[in-house]
Amino acid sequence: MDPAHWLTAHRERDVYDLHDNDPHDPGYRRFLSKLTTPLLERLEVGAQGLDFGCGPGPALALMLEQAGMKISLYDPFFHADPSALNHTYDFVTCTEVVEHLHQPAKVFRQLDSLVRPGGWLAVMTCFQTDDRQFANWHYRRDPTHVVFYREATLAWLARVHGWQLEVPAKDVALFRKA
């Protein structure tokens, strides 16, 4: 999106405050399981992770903790503790986050620095798949969504960062750091 159309940080926060991400909502947990199920298959119990962009109700973190993982939180609006960004992790999750990035290249470099060698970066975002439908695509109508990804874009990111890419489910990318 042209930066001239980006929301101010205050207005962006107002939109996020409208989301109902109840960590105990079975439907929301089912939605997040698209990412947690394949990620947990690749992790050992006790792995340390960061939920990057966790939002106000960190449902994903709760699900991962319940599976035996140790989770730190970071979100620029709701958990703005920069000390979480001073560590490395066995895995970093970004669910419904990367479409909000004003500086995606910079943030993906930061995410790479947070993942230990052999670790995982787990991303969930609605993949853009059909240019003919873009104008009517519900996902692009969210005013906080400023960048969109195709599977090919994620494969390019993997090559640039030396990651191995797996797409285990629709709209889920798992990157393994070498």
The pTM assigned to this predicted structure is 0.95
How many Cβ atoms sit within 10 Å of the Cβ of residue 112? 17
Task: Give pLDDT tens digits for 23-62.
Answer: 889 999 999 999 999 999 999 999 999 999 999 888 999 9
Exposed, middle or buried by CB within 10 Å (0-12, 13-18, 19+), for 123?
buried
C-alpha to C-alpha distance for 19 and 31, rounded to whole angstroms: 14
Give the model confidence (pLDDT) of 87-102 as tens digits: 999 999 999 999 999 9
CA-CA distance, 50 to 126, in Å (whole number)?
21
92, β-bridge pairs:
50, 121
For residue range 108-131, list pLDDT tens digits in order.
999 999 999 999 999 999 999 999
